[in-house]
Structure 1
Amino acid sequence: MASETILDVAIRQFGDRGFEGASTRAIAAAANTVMSSITYHFGGKEGLYLACADHIAAHLAERFAPIMAEIGSPADMDRQQATEATCALIEQIALLMMSDESRDWTNFLIREQQNPGPAFERLYSGIMHHMVELLRALIVRVRPELDASAIRALGIGIFGQALVLRAARATVIRVLDVSEIGETEKKLLLDQIRYNIKALLRSDPPS
């Protein structure tokens, strides 16, 4: 579909150049379409930008909703099961962050993290919010003695281990002393993340 092609191109250009830096003329040219197509499908630049956020949110939901359904309800888990479920959830996020698929999405998301607007609300209010709440509920099962603030802070620390693999990809590659993240590096990083999560869930938060 023409609208799908426009969205894919727009996500890339908005991610690389930001809302102000990207032009609908350049997006239309890169999508091999005419400017009027953007107006027809999205109403203009702002409508296109918001549609990009919805497009990313829909893809994230398509990918993670089945994973979250398979994990199930934390209320039915003991501590060991909740720990393993936390590892499984973050592992899937990490795999996405290490894939080529996430590049354009993440660039778009990082810009919205730095300067949140209506697009961020659309991104966060859907599957991202549900993922964060699932992680919080899993941590509650493992560390029920922690207060709400400590649980949320711990969740940020756990979640961030996956996000850094894309948000700081160049640094990750440089530190690993490789030219790209291959299968060997993926396994190494996933094993380390799993170890870290288990250690974090065992340890007391800083006072």
Structure 2
Amino acid sequence: MARHKPAAEGGYQRGEETRERIIEAALGIFGERGYEGASTREIAAAAGVNAPALQYYFDNKEGVYVACIEYILKRVWLQVAVPVEAAEALLSADEADDAHLIDAHLRILGCFFSFIHDTPQSTSWRQFMAREHAELGPAPAFERIDNSVHQRIGEVTCAIIGRLTGMPAKHEETIIRTFAINSQAMAFRVLRRKVLKALEWDSIDRERMERVRDLLVAQTRITLEGLVKQRDA
């Protein structure tokens, strides 16, 4: 497991800077070559450190990979913490109505959708996570993702969908609906090349991303409102 230690000769701050530099280099190499194709020697060289320094912070390649996952998850949470916590508070209030629940879900979806595009490391992070979602990383990485902010997002959105459909949050139908709704944004990350080709775009800049996000949110609103009508019928 990755360790979290400052460099002995440079103090805590310098150690943290070195550790982060290694992680950022690893994200690019893992994204480009995959977990199996990347080497710790290559990662160390890209980060400007020697192999023993990488081992000092992370023990081995799996430790570096898991640290990359933790690095991204921390920044995902910084992006979605406010809408997720607001949704959790809303769900605990008995007077929460359908309209407010729908708005809460859409705020989470919008923030999560914007996350990768709004980061300077967009390309490397997108490639890294595309490989991880394709289950090409080590098992401990999946477990770390599954028991983290993704679980919290999944729980709160399942609870919302459950309220909107009148079914328990842990019912398999609720879970399937929630995965289907939440995974819409993934197409624009995992299937980026296909999306660009279909739209005849050379890239997805901020303006285009905002257009896609607005359409996605509007489409999801229609879906959620439809679930409410189906429940009431």
Q: TM-score, normalised by structure 2?
A: 0.79
The answer to whether the 8 Å contact 1:15/1:104 transfers is: yes
* SS across alignment from 2:148: helix
**Aligned length, in residue pairs:** 205
Q: Structure 2 regions of 5+ residues with no counterpart?
A: 1-16
Q: Is the aligned partner of 1:154 residue 2:171?
A: no
2:196 match = 173
1:130 match = 152
Q: TM-score, normalised by structure 1?
A: 0.88
AA matched with 2:189: R
Choose between structure 1 and 2 for higher RCO, CA contacts under 8 A separated by at least 6 residues: 1
Deviations 1:10-36 (A, max 9, x none): 122112211210011111111111111
The answer to whether the 8 Å contact 2:28/2:125 transfers is: yes
Max Rg structure: 2
* SS across alignment from 1:200: helix
1:26 match = 42
* SS across alignment from 1:98: coil
Picking from 49, 69, 76, the partner of 1:60 is: 76
1:112 match = 132
AA matched with 2:30: F
Mapped partners of 1:122, 1:63: distance in 2: 18
Q: Superposition RMSD on alpha carbons, in Å?
A: 2.2
Relative to total residues, which structure has the larger helix share, 1 or 2? 1
2:91 match = 74
Q: Structure 1 regions of 5+ residues with no counterpart?
A: none
Mapped partners of 1:164, 1:87: distance in 2: 17
